Amino acid sequence: MKKILVTGSSGLIGSEVCVFFAARGYRVHGVDNNQRAAFFGPQGDTRWNQKRLQDALKDFQHHELDIRDRDGVGNLVNAIRPDVIVHTAAQPSHDRAAAIPFDDFDTNAVGTLNCLEAVRRHCPESPFIHLSTNKVYGDAPNSIALKELETRWDYDDPAYENGIPETFTIDQSKHSLFGVSKLASDVMVQEYGRYFGMPTCCLRGGCLTGPNHSGVELHGFLSYLIKCNLEGRQYTVFGYKAKQVRDNIHSLDVAQFMWEFSQSPRCGEVYNLGGGKQNSCSMLEAFGRVEALSGKAMNYVYSDRNREGDHICYYSDLRKMQAHYPNWEITRNLDDIFSEIVEAWKERDRP
């Protein structure tokens, strides 16, 4: 039986990958130490998701391990010798990073290096799939000419009609410390592919979302926004007239792409992984969608101060992904995504 090792297995994408590969006959090894609760408090706790995997997946094995533990990571990879490695463990908030710079860099950059080196030493032929972020581009996308529409900002340069391509600059812009630590890991994953010839890829995610997301204010925009609406909590909008745009991709579509890459891997590749223009929405548009589903008005306040290094408008150009892996496509649209997250929060809040 083939084996997959998933770091961050109790998180949104990690758990989806565990379920997806288990359904295809893989024995799943998950690495998670619930560090999200340490970063974000009780609301970020993912033990419920760990339990869900242990109950649902027959061959699932949980490993309580911090990826900053170099020897621990090396010993585990040596013992398992996985056929595929999906690396999703991270400190995921660009706001939180400024308060915990060492934890952020040690987790995102050094932790990734620990995983890469363990794989190089013990199973270098196994595909290594790294969940990167669109924050590696810093705030450079804000330099693109924009047009202001009634409910959103959009690109006013035809060169970006399909979104941000992988060739977009990653240099000389404000990234946030999170963006820097993730950029370091991103380039390292590329280098292990290019220098050592290992099958690696970086997936520069937009807003990755879905019903199993433990969204909090500092990470998980759509999940947290919907939770606030359902519970009547006040939501804070940071700048840009609430017209900032993000593309949203369902965690299942992320797992499906990872599957496609694992079956036909390339060395040192980079892909912008998001919902694309078709799954993009602004903050105002998101308010309207959730209000229509819940019947509750969105309770929010507006702050003129935008987040440092934040994107005004960002959606991914998916053409490279689709050219390299023509069997992959977006299968969950915005209606599906919103409906599933609403139902998931309602289910979790039931006694």
Cβ contacts of residue 195 below 8 Å, gap of 6+? Answer: none
Q: What is the pTM of this model?
A: 0.94
Q: Quick one: what percent of the chain has pLDDT higher than 70?
A: 97
Instruction: Tell me if residue 33 falls in helix, strand or coil.
Output: coil
Please give the pLDDT value at position 218. Answer: 58
**330-340 confidence digits (pLDDT tens):** 999 999 999 99
How far is Cα 225 from Cα 251, in angstroms, rounded to an integer? 17
Average pLDDT over residues 235-260: 96
pLDDT of residue 36: 81
Give pLDDT, residue 155. Answer: 98
The rounded distance, in Å, linking the Cα atoms of 225 and 49 is 20
Split at pLDDT 50, 70, 90, the class of 96 is confident
Does 348 have pLDDT greater than 90? no
Which of 220, 234, 229 minimizes the C-alpha distance to 300? 234
Residue 216 confidence class, pLDDT cut points 50, 70, 90: low
> Which domains, ranges and CATH numbers included, belong to the chain?
3-349 (3.40.50.720)
Asked whether the predicted pLDDT for residue 37 surpasses 90, the reply is no
For 163-209, write each residue's pLDDT tens digit: 999 999 999 999 999 999 999 999 999 999 999 999 999 999 989 99
In DSSP terms, 203 is beta-bridged to: 131, 271
pLDDT > 90: what percent of the chain? 86
At 119-165, the pLDDT tens digits run 999 999 999 999 999 999 999 999 999 999 999 999 999 999 999 99
* pLDDT for 275 beyond 70: yes
pLDDT tier, 350 (very low <50, low <70, confident <90, very high otherwise): low
